[in-house]
Structure 1
Amino acid sequence: MAVTATPANAAYNCGSNQVCLYKNSDFTGSVFILPQITNSYGVKIFCAPDLAQNKYTDGTSVNNSVSSVVNNSNSVIFLADYRGPGGKHTGISGGSRLWNLDSVQTFDSSGKQTYESFNDRASYAC
């Protein structure tokens, strides 16, 4: 899928049933469209388990650089700062838009809840 935006900070209009991760707040800058994959149970999910393996439309790494999210799917998407035990994560409900990740509800591996910045921390998105 080709995604184009004219000025460097032009907003990509995230489409129906898409999950868009933006490099800048306010849904601007380069965008990465979370791919839909089939999991081991045969269910289609939006997932990129290693954001270091993915690039924005400007060619830079998505890893540790997400600043805003549009979730136009019907599923909750989880962003995590570490894939595996010990990391923190935050969830973005289907139909939600987070214009920045400066103060979001996060959970650690023990379930402890805090509010903190998740800006430029995501290395996992599923």
Structure 2
Amino acid sequence: MAALAGNLVALPTEAQAAWKCPDGYFCMYENSNYTGSVAVIPEVNEKMSGYTGGIANLRNAHFTNGKIVDDAVSSVVNNTSQNIFFYSDHDYNSSSGENPYVWGPTVIRPHQGWPTMNALENDNIGSISVGQKHYCGHVNFHGWKCGAWISDRN
């Protein structure tokens, strides 16, 4: 807290202040409008050691505050030159029994940011791939292979 002209003003902590995602990186934020804790995961950031082009289980990833990223992302920035694909479930799967209408991954195009996620995406990302979509190999209740359709905001 800092005092200004006799008033107490609460300054945001580092975790609450908006952190700008650097050029060439993909960043996920715990809260909307690029606020809260951030996660910059090596597996999906080709400029980082540990890049693999995807992460099949976000239970193994953490925000800077230590919280698990799985089903906890509310805004994202893709400052890379590649498409980034989100899957609602682990292992690049998006035909969850919780929401059977999600037929495939959602894609965020290069150099886009989403200050808010839609109702299907908010706090509902379990795995991520870079550059190309992965196919989970099973068929959902509509008879479509998951990953066969892509939801694109453009």
| Coarse TM-score class (shorter-chain normalised) | 0.7 to 0.9
Matches within 5 A, 1:91-110: 91-102=107-118
Deviates further, 77-86 or 14-23: 77-86
Q: Match of 1:7, as an amino acid?
A: E
Provide the C-alpha distance between the structure 2 equivalents of 1:75 and 1:13, rounded to a whole number of angstroms.
19
**Contact kept? 1:35, 1:46, Cα under 8 Å:** no
Query: RMSD between aligned alpha carbons?
Result: 2.3
Q: Which structure has more strand as a fraction of its residues?
A: 1
**1:108 counterpart residue number:** none
Larger Rg: 2
TM-score by length of 2: 0.60
Structure 1 gap segments, 5+ residues each: 38-43, 103-115
The alignment covers a number of residue pairs equal to: 104
**Pairing of 1:1-126 with structure 2 (within 5 A):** 6-36=13-43, 46-82=53-89, 83=91, 84=93, 86-87=95-96, 88=102, 89-102=105-118, 116-126=119-129
Q: Which has the higher contact order (CA 8 A, sep 6+)?
A: 1
Q: Alpha-carbon deviation of 1:120? A: 0.2
What are the ranges of 5 or more consecutive residues in structure 2 without an aligned counterpart? 1-11, 45-50, 97-101, 130-154
Q: Which residue type is aligned with residue 86 of structure 1?
A: S
